[in-house]
Structure 1
Amino acid sequence: MTEDEILSEFRASEALLEGHFKLSSGRHSAHYLQCARVLMNAERAGSLARALAQTIPREMRAAIDVVVSPAMGGLIIGHEMGRALGKDAIFLERPEGIFELRRGFRLEPGQKVLMVEDVVTTGLSSREAIAAVVREGGEVIAEASLVDRSNGSADLGVPFFPLIAINFPTYAEEDVPDDLAAIELTKPGSRKS
């Protein structure tokens, strides 16, 4: 898929929103990508996952044992990546604020993991999810995401393969421009804090 085709899918599904948003990272933005909307159609989700899988070098794809994604945002694309790669897909949850495997999911010691996210902005959630996989005995060999909106600054500690990079500006709370601050704030993400 080309960048224009990918953006067209986001626009067609009303997944590219404009306003004043507080992102899961705590940063503010005039744009929000509601990946759940672009992934709500199973055919589109599968197509995006197949395109995302192709961004990962063949030898790395062959080394993957299991796909892991953080709930909520990474859940659908993680599942579809598992299907695209022919691997099991499991997910992490934060029942007490720290990622962990639940629901009987487990990793075998040294199991090679592909971490899959919907959107990476600062990389904080990804690093927390990667740390959880390590605590569970797995080894994250790469991360893939639908969107990189970090302006290339996210350091995940592993190779990173986004389907598309969208560089909408984000702002720390104290640096929000006046014109953006004048718009009512919306917090559409799944994190409470």
Structure 2
Amino acid sequence: MTDDDVLAEFRDAGALLEGHFILSSGRRSAVFLQKMFVFQDPVRTERLCKALAAKIEAQFGQIDYVVSPAVGGIVPGYETARHLKAKAVFVEREGGVFKLRRGFTLPAGARCIIIEDIITTGLSLRECRDSVLGEPGTILGAACLIDRSAGRAELGMKLVSLMEFDVPDYAPEGVPPELAAIPPIKPGSRGLTA
């Protein structure tokens, strides 16, 4: 699957949005990838995650467990795990910190990968990794559908992405005037409360 193919999946799903967006990282962007528009279509999701699974296997070999951060990583984590013939687990926030819950574990000897949907700064991936470091399984690296950092995110582990998408993003105090003129919206899930 080429970069154009990946972007076409998002565009065709109506998931490539333009405006003024507050990303999960807090940074601002004129482009937002509303992956849930992609994930509502199982066939489209399968195509993307099957291609990601192939790249993961080529880089890391056999995978036993996929770990994903809730909420956004659950669907691509599960679907990619299906193609890897691996188990899918996820971490969720408890007291503001990611934790494995629901009895999930990463057993000794398990070869594990962390899967996220889209990364910009890699914060969720780092938090996910940190939350499972005490588990007996081995974290081999991470993977995502789209790397908005174009390889610049500091993850502290190897990253496989289906596509690098170099889209400018800005600190809130550094937003260009043409973007600042548009009221910002925050469509992501970080910071959701019960």
Q: Specify the TM-score bucket, using the shorter chain as the normaliser.
A: over 0.9
Shift of 1:39: 1.5
2:143 aligned counterpart, secondary structure = strand
1:185 aligned counterpart, secondary structure = coil
Give percent identity, aligned residues only: 48
Deviations 1:84-132 (A, max 9, x none): 1000101110132100011121122453211000011011111110011
Shift of 1:138: 3.2
Partner of 1:147: 146
Structure 2: runs of 5 or more not aligned: none
Partner of 1:76: 75
Matched, 1:9 2:28: no
CA contact (8 A) 1:72 1:190 kept: yes
Q: Size of the alignment, in residue pairs? A: 192
TM-score with structure 1 setting the length = 0.94
Partner of 1:170: 169
Q: Distance in 1 between matches of 2:39 and 2:148?
A: 18
Matched, 1:104 2:103: yes
1:68 aligned counterpart, secondary structure = strand
CA contact (8 A) 1:148 1:165 kept: yes
Q: Distance in 1 between matches of 2:130 and 2:108?
A: 14
Deviations 1:10-49 (A, max 9, x none): 0111111111001011100000011111121111111111
Matched, 1:158 2:157: yes
Shift of 1:54: 1.7
Shift of 1:4: 1.4
CA contact (8 A) 1:61 1:85 kept: no
2:178 aligned counterpart, secondary structure = helix
Partner of 2:128: 129
CA contact (8 A) 2:64 2:85 kept: no
Q: Distance in 2 between matches of 1:159 and 1:29?
A: 26
Aligned-residue RMSD, C-alpha: 1.4
CA contact (8 A) 1:133 1:139 kept: no
